[in-house]
Amino acid sequence: MLSIISGDDVKKLDAAFIKATGISSWDLMENAAKAFFAWYQSKFMGVMGKVFVFSGPGNNGGDGIAIARLLAESGKTVSVIFFQEKEFCSKDYTLNIEKLPSKVNLIHISDFNFEIDENDVVLDCIFGIGINRPLEGSYLEVIERLNKTQCHKVSIDIPSGIPSDEILQGKAFKADHTVTFQFPKLSLLFPEHSEFTGNIHVVDIGIPDFFIQNFHKDKFFLRREDIRKFHKKFNPFSHKGDFGRIMLIGGSVGKVGAMVLSSKAALRTGSGLVHVQIAESERFIMQTAVPEVMVAGAEEIKRLDVFDALGIGPGWGTEVDLSFYCSILKRYHKPLVIDADGLNLLSKKPENLKYVPKGSILTPHIREFQRLAGEVKDHKERLDKARSFALEHGVYLVLKGAFTSISTPNGEQYFNSSGNQYLATAGSGDVLTGMIASFLGQGYLPLNAAICGVFQHGLAGEMTALDKRRGVIASDIIDTIPATFVDLDIE
Ligand SMILES: NC(=O)C1=CN([C@@H]2O[C@H](COP(=O)(O)OP(=O)(O)OC[C@H]3O[C@@H](n4cnc5c(N)ncnc54)[C@H](OP(=O)(O)O)[C@@H]3O)[C@@H](O)[C@H]2O)[C@@H](O)CC1
Ligand SMILES: [K+]
């Protein structure tokens, strides 16, 4: 798991790492350049065009010049386009200029004619996390011109113009790929910046995560290799009771499909027993669609505590008797999952939030969260609000979207890295509810249930999109859940 630290802390981290290990700041830049070069070789070596490296005056520009050297040594035709004479540039920029082989064309921006071909590659090393004001003058002109140029575009560390932790003011470089060092900068995860970042790739520059943790505050980036450790182990002696008994509550008239999806997803995620509480008239549809599910009667609703987890909300409608909802929340004493109409009903009567059992998992998408917590001006404020909401109510708040975030009752935030745009399809949220409720019912801690559910839901989306792309529907995601266990090597 990678810790996400602020741009200001990166500078302190660099200084502390250099002091502790005795390596030089130039070595660290060289590590960054080599890490980028390895990425480039794996992704871009087939691209035969020329490489244009646009280098700003700071260390981001210095990275670019070191990268230009490595690319030229590998046989590429490389030009460096610079903005400032070296005496106005950072120390490691200057050192790298001195090491640049003569075969690299070194061109001042005022002499550059912008003859860039479709097959050429532009590396954006104008500004990194040291940007401290909106772009202007020649920087702005060049970036606007590059944004209109057809070619391959890659940003180093962060698209130039975007600050590391804040929302962009003004313009920025539009990349097809952003190759970021060590961990994704927080602002790369904001939806407002998706048109600039392109695909995000994190490359390791050799600062161990335990070292970074000295600086970390409360934000983490979840990657595929992290997921195994959040899973419980089962063995051949495990029986269906060990896999949990859950109850899903929702499915009003005409909306029982949501419960079909949630309950199937829970079964595919490994639940031993799945009960559903739905509108009486929808019983036949439910049992035909998912024969493995048991439809709950009045008796089960009375004895809620026999269930290892509840999932409330899919297809429930907003006409539900609020006193019935409230009685469920008051009588159930373990963490549960609330989604969709379960959340909308809480927005209608926020005082009921106090009855939500501590450690429960709430899974709003952006609009549902807005109904619950109020308007925000941008994603940064939304994330801050999600954090304070989770702290205040003692819940795990799963804010769904690209890089779904999980805010915890102790103020931490975990960002998911799996998934794609094809998950934005009807019923996808119902699938996630079923998955998280299933893990919770299998005895996972709420954080682990949320992490495994969110990651594998995203992974199932990625895997099913391989041959379906925008044709992915929620049922395909469910069908792919078992393959995610295989893919991650989880028994
Ligand atoms: N551990 C790591 O992660 C490592 C990070 N590394 C790399 O270092 C990068 C950070 O480098 P950095 O701190 O030198 O900042 P960077 O973004 O190059 O620019 C600062 C310069 O720009 C200027 N300036 C600012 N805004 C401006 C504007 N709007 N318009 C005009 N000028 C503006 C500012 O000068 P000012 O005018 O404010 O005095 C200053 O000269 C990081 O992103 C990564 O690529 C690796 O090398 C090694 C390990
Ligand atoms: K950059």
pLDDT in tens, 376-386: 999 999 999 99
Q: What is the pLDDT of residue 297?
A: 86
Residue 223: inside a domain? no
| pLDDT surpassing 90 at residue 54 | yes
- Rounded to the nearest angstrom, the distance between the alpha carbon of 58 and the centre of ligand 1 is 4
Q: Residue 75 belongs to what domain range?
A: 2-217
Given 182, 217, 252, the domain boundary residue is: 217
**Closest ligand relative to 215 C-alpha:** 1
Residue 289: inside a domain? yes
Residue 298: inside a domain? yes
* Euclidean distance between CA atoms 485 and 18, whole angstroms: 41
- Rounded to the nearest angstrom, the distance between the alpha carbon of 72 and the centre of ligand 1 is 24
Same domain for 316 and 380? yes
Mean pLDDT, rounded, for 387-413? 98
Annotated binding site for AMP: 400-404, 429
pLDDT per residue as tens digits for the range 106-119:
999 999 999 999 99
Distance, CA of 306 to chain centre: 35
Q: What is the CA radius of gyration of the chain?
A: 26
Mean pLDDT, rounded, for 239-262? 93
Q: Whole-prediction pTM value?
A: 0.96
Best residue for ligand 1 mutational test, from 131, 158, 204 (most atoms within 8 Å of Cβ)? 131
**Amino acid letter at 453?**
G
Higher pLDDT, 302 or 362: 362
Given 193, 217, 241, the domain boundary residue is: 217
Same domain for 73 and 200? yes
**DSSP designation for 409:** T
- Rounded to the nearest angstrom, the distance between the alpha carbon of 127 and the centre of ligand 2 is 5
Give the confidence band of 443 by pLDDT, cuts at 50, 70, 90: very high
Residue 69: inside a domain? yes
Give the confidence band of 209 by pLDDT, cuts at 50, 70, 90: confident
Residue 268: inside a domain? yes
Distance, CA of 103 to chain centre: 41
Closest atom, ligand 1, to C-alpha of 182: 3
Q: What is the pLDDT of residue 438?
A: 98
CATH of the domain at 240: 3.40.1190.20
**Amino acid letter at 268?**
R
Best residue for ligand 1 mutational test, from 142, 181, 182, 202 (most atoms within 8 Å of Cβ)? 181
Same domain for 308 and 457? yes
Per-residue tokens: 160: 């130039």
Contact 261, 477 (CB under 8 A): no
- The number of distinct structural domains making up the chain is 2
When the pLDDT of each residue in the chain is averaged and rounded to a whole number, the result is: 95
Same domain for 344 and 424? yes
Closest atom, ligand 1, to C-alpha of 89: 41
Indicate the Cα dihedral angle 197, 202, 204, 207, nearest 10°.
Answer: 80
Contact 44, 152 (CB under 8 A): yes
Helix (H, G, I), strand (E, B) or coil at 104: coil
Mean pLDDT, rounded, for 455-468? 97
| pLDDT surpassing 90 at residue 214 | no
Residue 15: inside a domain? yes
* Euclidean distance between CA atoms 384 and 387, whole angstroms: 5
Per-residue tokens: 319: 């006409």
Same domain for 210 and 302? no
Please tell me the residue having the least CA distance from ligand 1 atom 15: 130
Give the confidence band of 398 by pLDDT, cuts at 50, 70, 90: very high
Give the confidence band of 149 by pLDDT, cuts at 50, 70, 90: very high
- ipTM for the whole complex: 0.98
Mean pLDDT, rounded, for 13-41? 94
Same domain for 152 and 185? yes
Residue 411: inside a domain? yes
Q: What is the CB < 6 Å shell around ligand 1?
A: 10, 14, 28-29, 32, 56-63, 90, 127-133, 135, 139, 156-157, 181-182, 205
**Residue in the block written with tokens 């990268």:** 67
Same domain for 188 and 318? no
Same domain for 327 and 420? yes
Residue 222: inside a domain? no
Given 217, 247, 264, the domain boundary residue is: 217
Nearest residue to 398 via CA among 387, 334, 439: 387
- Rounded to the nearest angstrom, the distance between the alpha carbon of 271 and the centre of ligand 2 is 46
Per-residue tokens: 12: 């302190």
Contacting residues for 350 by C-beta, under 8 A, at least 6 apart: 372
Q: What is the pLDDT of residue 239?
A: 78
| pLDDT surpassing 90 at residue 489 | yes
pLDDT per residue as tens digits for the range 305-341:
999 999 999 999 989 999 999 999 999 999 999 999 9
Q: Would the CA dihedral through 270, 271, 274, 278 be positive or negative?
A: negative
**Closest ligand relative to 59 C-alpha:** 1
Q: What is the pLDDT of residue 233?
A: 87
Same domain for 150 and 298? no
Q: What is the pLDDT of residue 235?
A: 82
Per-residue tokens: 10: 């990166």
Same domain for 355 and 427? yes
Q: What is the pLDDT of residue 102?
A: 95
CATH of the domain at 96: 3.40.50.10260
Same domain for 428 and 407? yes
Same domain for 197 and 299? no
